[in-house]
Amino acid sequence: MTVELQHVGRIIGPHGVDGRVKALPVDESIELLEELTVWSLGFTANSVVPHTVEECRRHISSRGTSLIVRLDGVSSRTGAELLKGAGVFAPASEVASLRGGSSDEPGWAGFRVVDTVGTVVGEVVELRPMPAQDLLIVRRSGRHEAMIPCVPEFIEHVDVEKEEITVNLPEGLLD
């Protein structure tokens, strides 16, 4: 039986010297990452290695809120550095259960993307995991698809109820 995995976060780098990693959710749900007891880590959903979460705490800085996590099997800074850019995956059924929804949740596909003044940029067709950061692939009417890095500097807000993502993009990114 194949378990469908959902991309829920990413490792942004090591924290300290004892193997802890710093992680961010792919959406606004930091609580979901905190509740998961096993993180499957990898650069694609097809090549993941499960790790038990031994410790998890919030880290608040001027850049926002992230998680500092100790994972089984990662006990050095070198080991943590190897995980930089890896995606955090979890069974879609577990994610749906923690969110109180169905396992058929489409993620961000179909969400409308708007800029900070409300101008429609396009519609999300895919959230593509990449080594450096995830990319929102956005279909734009009459133009080429846009690839928007899914980083806190560009993603202002995700409104799950309205299925809308507000972005604050640097000039020229969509050209």
Q: For residue range 96-117, what is the model confidence (pLDDT) as tens digits? A: 777 764 433 346 788 999 999 9
Enter the tokens of residue 121.
Answer: 């940029």
Output the CA–CA distances (angstroms, integers) from residue 72 to 40, 101, 144, in the order listed.
Answer: 12, 29, 43
pLDDT digits (tens, 9 = 90+) for 48-104: 899 999 999 998 877 778 899 999 999 999 999 999 999 998 887 787 777 764 433
Answer whether residue 166 shows pLDDT above 80. yes
Mean pLDDT, the chain, rounded, equals: 84
Q: Which residue has the higher pLDDT, 29 or 79?
A: 79
Cα within 13 Å of Cα(71), Cβ side: 28
